[in-house]
């Protein structure tokens, strides 16, 4: 009995840390930009129609070879001859310094996207705002919520970024694309923010609304110009996340 208890104690104490580290091998996950229930038909946004598994793997290899974590690729595949990918790298260099106002804005965005925010975090943030200083409790809450994760920074810059006129996520257009692919490649574990990414891969929860007044998601940003112009189908779109430590 004594030996069994000791073994179990050590086993369970270290199980979590081993599990969290994950296997050190390349893997990937894909979130298709699907519509909310009651919205436009899912088929119009089914990325799997256009991007074969081999194509996704090919794209991943290209990204992992580089040092830039985010690429936006636009292409045209439903016409003959298909237009090639135009690759744009929106986030070159380090993200802007993370400040208390930026965190406040991230919270506002997450809330608008329907992500549940811990009441403890909200209270800690309000306390920090009142004090005008970052408290250790706030830092702990943010760390626990994955707010300091690179994926979180990337989503923040994608959905809150101001992009130049006449572009999709800053990509200059030589043709009207029918496919938009976002690649996010990170060397570290990214599971923390995949839930948030899933929220941002959905379109407006208001059925039939081309873009909602608040809480504009990545999906909304891709679809909006097509819905505004009308007469052309919404593009196939997906966000591809690659990491060597997905859980």
* Of 61 and 118, CB closest to other proteins: 118
Element holding 67 (H helix, E strand):
none
Q: Is 3 in the site for other proteins (CB under 8 A)?
A: no
Q: Is 98 in the site for other proteins (CB under 8 A)?
A: yes
d(CA 23, CA 233): 41
CA atoms within 13 A on the CB side of 130: 6
Q: Quick one: which of 42, 52, 133, 206 contacts other proteins (CB under 8 A)?
A: 133
177 and 168 in contact (C-beta within 8 Å)? yes
118, 115, 138, 117: which is closest to 126 by C-alpha?
A: 138
Q: Is 229 in the site for other proteins (CB under 8 A)?
A: yes
How far apart are CB 129 and other proteins at their closest, in Å?
4
* Of 18 and 25, CB closest to other proteins: 18
Stretch that binds other proteins, among 23-31, 32-40, 42-50, 214-222 (CB under 8 A): 214-222
Rule CB under 8 A: which of 54-83 touch other proteins?
Answer: none
How far apart are CB 188 and other proteins at their closest, in Å?
11
97 and 115 in contact (C-beta within 8 Å)? no
């Amino acid at each position: 009995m004594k030996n069994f208890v000791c073994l179990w104690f050590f086993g369970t104490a270290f199980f979590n840390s081993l599990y969290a580290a994950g296997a050190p091998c390349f893997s990937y996950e894909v979130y298709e930009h699907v519509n909310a229930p009651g919205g436009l038909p899912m088929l119009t946004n089914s990325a799997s129609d256009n991007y074969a598994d081999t194509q996704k793997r090919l794209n991943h290899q290209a990204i992992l070879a580089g040092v830039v974590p985010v690429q936006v690729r636009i292409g045209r595949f439903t016409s003959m001859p298909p237009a090639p990918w135009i690759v744009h790298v929106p986030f070159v260099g380090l993200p802007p310094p993370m400040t208390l106002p930026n965190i406040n804005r991230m919270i506002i965005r997450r809330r608008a996207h329907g992500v549940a925010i811990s009441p403890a975090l909200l209270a800690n943030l309000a306390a920090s705002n009142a004090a005008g200083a970052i408290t250790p409790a706030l830092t702990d809450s943010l760390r626990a919520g994955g707010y300091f994760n690179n994926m979180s920074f990337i989503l923040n810059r994608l959905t809150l970024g101001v992009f130049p006129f006449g572009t999709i996520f800053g990509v200059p257009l030589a043709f009207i694309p029918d496919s938009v692919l976002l690649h996010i490649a990170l060397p570290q574990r990214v599971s923390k923010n995949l839930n948030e990414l899933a929220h941002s891969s959905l379109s407006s929860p208001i059925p039939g609304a081309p873009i909602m007044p608040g809480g504009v998601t990545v999906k909304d940003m891709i679809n909006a110009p097509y819905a505004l112009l009308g007469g052309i189908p919404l593009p196939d779109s997906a966000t591809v996340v690659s990491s060597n430590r997905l859980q």
